[in-house]
Amino acid sequence: MIEAIRNAHDIAMERDERVVVFGEDAGYFGGVFRCTAGLQKKYGKNRCFDAPINESGIVGAGIGMAAYGLRPVVEIQFADYVYPAYDQIVSEAARLRYRSAGQFTCPMVIRMPTGGGIFGGQTHSQSPEALFTHVSGLKVVVPSNPVDAKGLLMAAIEDPDPVIFLEPKRLYNGPFNGHHDRPIVAWKSHPMGEVDDGYYTTPLGRAAVRRAGGDVTVLAYGTMVHVAEAAADERGVDAEVIDLRTLLPLDMETIETSVKKTGRCVVVHEATRTSGFGAELCALVQEKCFFHLEAPVTRVTGWDTPYPHAQEWAYFPGPDRVGRALTQVLEG
């Protein structure tokens, strides 16, 4: 996924001189995860550069650039660091088109690694997507594989409004992410897909059916897509796994079609349970598909606790927890 994201930057910068890339260590070093490696050398310091350790300033500068015609792609080193910039994102970036009656827009992308899986502890492992899905005026994207990561990032850069682009760290380096005793899917090595090195986009707002099935619908995004597929395989459940890809705007049509077919729904995400995005998904499924449901909509999530470093792999929804939920809704 790192290579796919880097390639998307490269193509976007080559195609459009308005695209600029910056953030903490994003220039000379190429980012702590190397997603912008080589861009400064190729395009110069005016288009790919380092920023001070000031997330509010990084996003604020990007908003100003976007308002005056550039297309900034800013990197927040970890999603956990975005909170100082939250006011800029919510009060400025998300509102600019509306408060100016269209006189100014904010075509910028805010990229950030999200989730756990690297033993980063409480301040390097959070999943804050629900904080952004609550904000009108933003788009929120979470890819689950390199092919989509590149296509969705290209689409996000070309979008006329601000996009929050969340990159699951557990998927950055393929199945093992540097920890050979901690694979993404301990139960099997999951193929990540070959990426076309040319230009293409993946439309925002469209989900993908990763695994067709007729008994239960599983809604997931990011790393949890792979966990859901593995759980269905392990339990022998005829589950339809939907990769949401974009949380805002949400592809409710695909969700509704699937749930009305299966009559059951399980929602899976890595973030904490209370007020997580899964609660919104459950509410929407209940509103749209109530008379087709054969069992209550079920959530499988992270714990309601500060991120537990010592119990990281128990905190994640794994195939066993997801599998038990699948069995529960089928029996229900």
Cβ count within 10 A of residue 180: 8
- Are the C-beta atoms of 271 and 304 separated by less than 8 Å? no
Helices 146-158 & 2-15, crossing angle to 10 degrees? Answer: 30
pLDDT in tens, 118-138: 778 788 889 999 999 999 999
Tell me which of 124, 190, 226, 269 is the catalytic residue: 124
Alpha-carbon span 233 to 161, nearest angstrom: 39
Going from the C-alpha of 185 to that of each of 117, 214, 224, 237, 325, the distances in angstroms are 12, 24, 10, 18, 18
Alpha-carbon span 20 to 42, nearest angstrom: 12
Q: Is the pLDDT of residue 179 over 70?
A: no
Structure confidence at residue 298 (pLDDT):
97
Residue ranges and CATH numbers for the domains of the chain are: 2-171 (3.40.50.970), 208-331 (3.40.50.920)
**Could you tell me the pLDDT band of residue 263, with boundaries at 50, 70 and 90?**
very high
The stretches of 106-262 forming alpha helices (DSSP H) are 129-133, 146-158, 223-235, 252-262
**Could you tell me the pLDDT band of residue 310, with boundaries at 50, 70 and 90?**
confident
pLDDT in tens, 188-236: 444 567 899 999 999 999 999 999 999 999 999 999 999 999 999 999 9
**19-23, 178-182, 225-229: which has the minimum mean pLDDT?**
178-182
> Region 305-322: what's the mean pLDDT?
86
- Are the C-beta atoms of 177 and 125 separated by less than 8 Å? no
Q: Is the pLDDT of residue 180 over 50?
A: no
Question: pTM (2 decimals)?
Answer: 0.94
> How many residues are present in the chain?
332
**Could you tell me the pLDDT band of residue 44, with boundaries at 50, 70 and 90?**
very high
Structure confidence at residue 190 (pLDDT):
47
Structure confidence at residue 279 (pLDDT):
98
| Percent of the chain clearing pLDDT 90 (strictly above) | 86
Alpha-carbon span 177 to 172, nearest angstrom: 6
Residue 124 a catalytic site member: yes
Residue 166: which residues within 8 A CB-CB, separation 6 or more? 79, 112, 114, 127, 129, 140, 141, 142, 222
Structure confidence at residue 125 (pLDDT):
86
